[in-house]
Amino acid sequence: MTDVFHALADPTRRDLLDRLFLKGGLTLSELAEGAPMTRQGVAKHIAILEAANLVTAEWEGRNKRHFLNPVPLTGIVHRWVGKFEDARLDALAEFKSRLEDPTDMDKKDTKRHG
């Protein structure tokens, strides 16, 4: 969970995911070609993406081919975002109820009914 968010919190890594999204099976060298850093730098980023299970690798001779794995996103992140969407709906409902009953504003100091 922390790993997934941390992996996504870097533009370089998001760019790598974008490129694997457009074309799967790229090797490390291919991914490193367009990057503004050393091959080892890219390798470290990919290691982080693999640790977060966002990228899966597959060996083909001396070539390591990389593929995007969207499962951690659709699973964990979705659950988190959905949770906050509920919060947004709650806020919306509360806002609506205030519109319908403006005297509710006075209750701002009292604790909210869970």
Size of the site for a copy of itself (CB under 8 A): 26
CA 101, 105, 110, 111: dihedral to nearest 10 degrees? Answer: 70
Per-residue x/- track, 33-72, a copy of itself (CB under 8 A):
-----------------------------------x-xx-
CB of residue 52 vs DNA: minimum separation in angstroms?
12
- Options 36, 74, 105, 113; binder of a copy of itself; rule CB under 8 A: 74
* Per-residue H/E/C for 66-90: EEECCHHHHHHHHHHHHHHHHHHHH
Provide the token pair at 85.
């969407």
**C-alpha 26: how far from chain center:** 21
Q: Where along the sequence are the contacts to DNA (CB under 7 A)?
A: 10, 12, 27-30, 37-41, 43-45, 48, 57, 61-64
